[in-house]
Structure 1
Amino acid sequence: MTREYIRLYATVVITALVLPAVAQNTKVFKGQSAIRGVSTVSRPVQRQWKGVFSQKGDDVFFRNDFPGARLNGMVKVNDTLYTALITSENTPVNGSPWYAFKVWAGKPREITLKLTYQQGSRHRYPPKLSKDGNTWTSVEAGDAKKIFEEDSLPGEYQFKLKVSKDTTWVAAQELFTSKHANAWLKELKSKPKSSAEIIGYSRLGKPLTVVKMGNPASKKRILIIGRQHPPEVTGQYAMKAFVETLNAGTALSSQFLNDYLVYVIPLMNPDGVDNGNWRHNDGGIDLNRDWDAFNQPESSAVRDFLKKEIADKGNQLIFSIDFHSTQDDIYYRVDPKMKGNMPNLISDWLSKTQEQIPGYVPNVKALYSGGGTFTAFSYFFKQYGTEALVYEIGDNTPRDFIKHKGEVSAQILMNLLLNK
């Protein structure tokens, strides 16, 4: 990182709107309320106009013609203030207002950017900045206070930024598009005891790939999926650390992969990710509400794959985990009173995670107690008796802790499964 690059980020100043201070140790994130069924029949989505936004006589430019971008409009208010309009792919939609765009100028200057959203939506993600699309820095200090509940978030967000002929990337979170996912998949399938298979295609024809790691003759299987919701990059990072630990080439992981076969489906919603959607796939649907009706090709592809791999061959799906992001770290589980293939596995896993990460207290909530299987983890439990879990990472959880928790969690799981 160059000195000029460091100075660029050191000059970023939050103005006008400051996120409310919430003491991290005095309030516990309440998490998702009971999940209800909704129609998952496809609905129209809004297509972004793609290109360069500029105004006559001005030498500050913005663009959104790259994978993962979302910028629906840009207005120059005065000589230094620019207002970005960010709108969702359709409505109603979860409050996850994703944005990503590039900015540059004919000559160096400092501008003020105001992020605004459609009526009823609140700003959620403090901007991340990059000079190359790979290395990112947040405009907020690492010790910024957490925002736990959606109703405490501001309606818009304003910050200052130094721009020049060198392009600056501005995004809600670090970009991890299908290009990044495919590069990671290539690494995974090149490892010993690994292979890859296309199990279906998205609505726009992007392949849905599963990597198989471990012993293909084993009757004991586990499933890892992620990125049903496009903006949830921190969940992707957690999954990456988790999966890489399962196949790290250590004595523990080698023994584990001799005994188990692991399915990894890291990108459930490639269309939504690459189109910069807030929540939905290209069918305008939240994929994590389609695990009962199966109206969307992405969820249907996983259902059909598991039927072929598990039900039709007499194998057993021991454990499944679905990675997501939300306001703060939380685990959603099946009601402990409901027993799966390996009773107490989830409870033991969570308690040992707490033991092995000093000062960490897992926030756990039972989110499925029977009935309709609208979400992936509830479907996996009801259909296969798997010990199912949703692993949620906070939007602003430090990236080094995400990696550490993912690694420790995977090590604990392997030890538990090998000793059950």
Structure 2
Amino acid sequence: MSKGLFLVFAIALLWSCQPKETKWAGQAPAKRVSTLTRPIQYQLKKTFDLGNGIFLSNEFDGARLNGVALTGENEVTVLITPENTPVNASPWYAFKIWSTTSKDIDLKITYNEGVGHRYYPKLSADGKNWTKVDSTVYIADTASIANGEQPKFCSFSLSLSPDTTWVSAQELIVSKDINKWAAGLAEKEYVSMAELAKSKEGRTINYLQIGNPDSKKMLMVLSRQHPPEITGWLAMQAFIERICTDDELSEKFRNEYNIFLVPCVNPDGVDNGHWRHGAGGIDLNRDWDDFNQPETRAVNKFMKSKVADGSKFYFAVDFHSTQHDIYYTVAPELKGNMPGLVPKVLTAMGEEIPGYDPNIDPSSVDELRISSTLSIFHEFKAETVTFEVGDDTPRDFIEKKGKLTAENLMKIMLED
């Protein structure tokens, strides 16, 4: 048994001995913070020549590489730091690495003090197709794990050549990829794409209008408020593509409802490789009360303009990623424009997946209205859910959940 495989086995054994709850408790309720603009620290974008024929680069959208050193003859250590602090620790990394001659190295990913490793590394030869690092060559900080803490670093063996290897925390999906996907959907006769606003750094924030533009019965779909949350984006993609399917159910739903999608609320954070924040140095999903940031302000203004003629938002969903799948809903005592819709949809979705029991976590009645879904519920009375997808949820399962959620939503909303 290799050293890497032995360590993985030991970690799994330690983890299996820990008491487990039947359902993950989820995150603590969000606390109010100032959302006034704060400075961010931009990366030095360059190709790093380490000597010994080894090179690394962060000169691409979505990259995150803050420091690098040759710490042994064939050991490369990288440093990953956030855009500013305080920040929710979602330490994103993405960089390219190659060498002038073929060689094997040990690559170590480290973070600033107090930050733990979150995302299991993925590799690509083209920046589009990704595979996880082989577990037999992967080593985490086992001392921290044994103490019930996140590992402070990870390392793995990597074979280099003159061909580029991409290393990333998750699949690399940046604003140009999202806009290309959206433009492809907009080729359908019942989908249109337009500019919602400009981000703080001047990037275009697009939205899609899907279905009957004259309907006064509306839905709002959001994604990528937090840059690293790729699994949430993948669920959103499957959800929307199911609504855009050319079958009887979808066609009937699109004739009845007017659906809006903002697929990338935070293009600045996405393209700058941020851990969490926008270019204003703020977690956008804490700015849905004060609306100090242009991105959240634009979505809110757009929604207000759509209800000015008496139209209603009946449903809104914001797609995110976290440690495990969970669905944050409003307190059941609170009634919106279609009471009971969200629990019905999530329960119906779960019933179609053998052995899957959706982890639904309602908010308290008086929880702060600083996040998107709680803000949208209280201002527009849309039934809302924050659809959180686990970092390591299998991609085919993400697609299945996204499609089944859309399918059951359409069925239930057409019945009511």
Instruction: Check conservation: 1:14, 1:140, Cα contact below 8 A.
Output: no
Deviation at 1:151, TM superposition (A): 5.7
Instruction: Check conservation: 1:14, 1:139, Cα contact below 8 A.
Output: no
Equivalent position to 1:43, from 38, 46, 57? 38
What secondary structure does 2:231 align onto?
Answer: helix
Structure 1 match to 2:68: 74
Equivalent position to 2:340, from 333, 341, 344? 344
**Across the two proteins, how many residue pairs are aligned to each other?**
403
Q: Residues of 2 paired with 1:228 and 1:20: CA distance?
A: 33
Structure 1 match to 2:358: 362
Structure 2 match to 1:201: 198
What secondary structure does 1:54 align onto?
Answer: strand
1:137 counterpart = 2:134: no
Q: Residues of 2 paired with 1:179 and 1:219: CA distance?
A: 31
Deviation at 1:77, TM superposition (A): 0.8
Structure 1 match to 2:317: 321
Give per-residue Cα distances to partners, 1:18-52, cap 9 Å, x unaligned: 89434599443221111111000010101100011
Structure 2 match to 1:126: 120
Deviation at 1:370, TM superposition (A): 2.9
Deviation at 1:141, TM superposition (A): 5.5
TM-score (normalised: structure 1): 0.92
Instruction: Check conservation: 1:13, 1:160, Cα contact below 8 A.
Output: no
What secondary structure does 1:77 align onto?
Answer: strand
CA separation of 1:19 and 1:261: change in aligned 2, threshold 3 A: farther
Q: Residues of 2 paired with 1:418 and 1:349: CA distance?
A: 12
Q: Residues of 2 paired with 1:18 and 1:54: CA distance?
A: 36
Specify the code of the residue in structure 2 equivalent to 1:52: T
CA separation of 1:283 and 1:139: change in aligned 2, threshold 3 A: same
Instruction: Check conservation: 2:349, 2:405, Cα contact below 8 A.
Output: yes
What secondary structure does 1:268 align onto?
Answer: coil
Equivalent position to 1:384, from 376, 380, 405? 380
Structure 2 match to 1:64: 58
Structure 1 match to 2:328: 332
1:99 counterpart = 2:100: no
Specify the code of the residue in structure 2 equivalent to 1:333: T
Q: Residues of 1 paired with 2:363 and 2:317: CA distance?
A: 14
Structure 2 match to 1:3: none
Instruction: Check conservation: 1:12, 1:162, Cα contact below 8 A.
Output: no
Structure 2 match to 1:407: 403
Q: Residues of 1 paired with 2:200 and 2:181: CA distance?
A: 22
Q: Residues of 2 paired with 1:270 and 1:71: CA distance?
A: 19
Structure 2 match to 1:7: none
Structure 2 match to 1:394: 390
Q: Residues of 2 paired with 1:77 and 1:17: CA distance?
A: 24
Give per-residue Cα distances to partners, 1:107-151, cap 9 Å, x unaligned: 111100111001110000010100001100011569x9xxx9x96
Gaps of 5+ in 2: 139-144
Structure 1 match to 2:142: none
Q: Which moved more, 1:213-222 or 1:369-378?
A: 369-378
Q: Residues of 2 paired with 1:406 and 1:297: CA distance?
A: 29
What secondary structure does 2:72 align onto?
Answer: coil
What secondary structure does 1:248 align onto?
Answer: coil
CA separation of 1:359 and 1:157: change in aligned 2, threshold 3 A: same
Instruction: Check conservation: 2:5, 2:135, Cα contact below 8 A.
Output: no
Structure 1 match to 2:262: 265
Deviation at 1:280, TM superposition (A): 0.2
Give per-residue Cα distances to partners, 1:171-219, cap 9 Å, x unaligned: 0000000011010110121112111121111000011111000001111
Aligned-pair Cα RMSD in Å: 2.2
Instruction: Check conservation: 2:8, 2:135, Cα contact below 8 A.
Output: no
Gaps of 5+ in 1: 1-10
Deviation at 1:344, TM superposition (A): 1.0
CA separation of 1:75 and 1:53: change in aligned 2, threshold 3 A: same
Deviation at 1:245, TM superposition (A): 0.2
Structure 1 match to 2:286: 289
1:163 counterpart = 2:160: yes
Deviation at 1:13, TM superposition (A): 5.9
Deviation at 1:372, TM superposition (A): 3.5
Specify the code of the residue in structure 1 equivalent to 2:352: Q
TM-score (normalised: structure 2): 0.93
Deviation at 1:244, TM superposition (A): 0.3
Specify the code of the residue in structure 2 equivalent to 1:53: F
Q: Residues of 2 paired with 1:349 and 1:343: CA distance?
A: 12
Q: Residues of 1 paired with 2:49 and 2:372: CA distance?
A: 43
Q: Residues of 1 paired with 2:252 and 2:366: CA distance?
A: 35
Percent of aligned positions that are identical:
45
CA separation of 1:73 and 1:34: change in aligned 2, threshold 3 A: same
Specify the code of the residue in structure 1 equivalent to 2:405: S
Structure 2 match to 1:301: 298
CA separation of 1:407 and 1:32: change in aligned 2, threshold 3 A: same
Q: Residues of 2 paired with 1:12 and 1:211: CA distance?
A: 50
Instruction: Check conservation: 1:17, 1:157, Cα contact below 8 A.
Output: no
Instruction: Check conservation: 2:30, 2:368, Cα contact below 8 A.
Output: no
What secondary structure does 1:351 align onto?
Answer: helix
Instruction: Check conservation: 1:12, 1:161, Cα contact below 8 A.
Output: no
Instruction: Check conservation: 1:320, 1:388, Cα contact below 8 A.
Output: yes
Specify the code of the residue in structure 1 equivalent to 2:315: F
Deviation at 1:391, TM superposition (A): 0.2
Q: Residues of 2 paired with 1:330 and 1:365: CA distance?
A: 7
Structure 1 match to 2:224: 227
Q: Which moved more, 1:381-390 or 1:24-33?
A: 24-33
Instruction: Check conservation: 1:15, 1:159, Cα contact below 8 A.
Output: no
Instruction: Check conservation: 1:16, 1:158, Cα contact below 8 A.
Output: no
